[in-house]
Amino acid sequence: MTLEEKIKMLPEDMRREVEDFVDFLLERERKKSSKKALKEIEGILKGKFDTDDSVELQHRAGEYIAEKLRRYLKT
């Protein structure tokens, strides 16, 4: 029996619980993926800007991105 078939056999209130749990799992995975991506970006930018201060790093990264965007829009 497939998972879908098993879920269909549940009463409506339990199906809502399954849906809530799946939403929770998806959100947890999304957050984990976002954190991983941010760590990768932070690692790349640290080498670029040579700072350990995360606030300073965010500020410099914003400036860097804005400058790249300005240059792109001029072309």
Using one digit for the tens of pLDDT, what is the confidence trace for 17-44? 999 999 999 999 888 887 777 777 777 7
Backbone phi and psi for residue 72, each to the nearest 5 degrees, phi listed first: -65, -40
Give the pLDDT of residue 50: 62
| Cβ–Cβ < 8 Å for 44, 57 | no
Alpha helices by DSSP H, listed for the chain, are 3-9, 12-49, 54-74
Q: Which residues contact 30 (CB under 8 A, 6 or more apart)?
A: none
Domain ranges of the chain: 3-74
Does the reported pTM lie above 0.85?
Answer: no
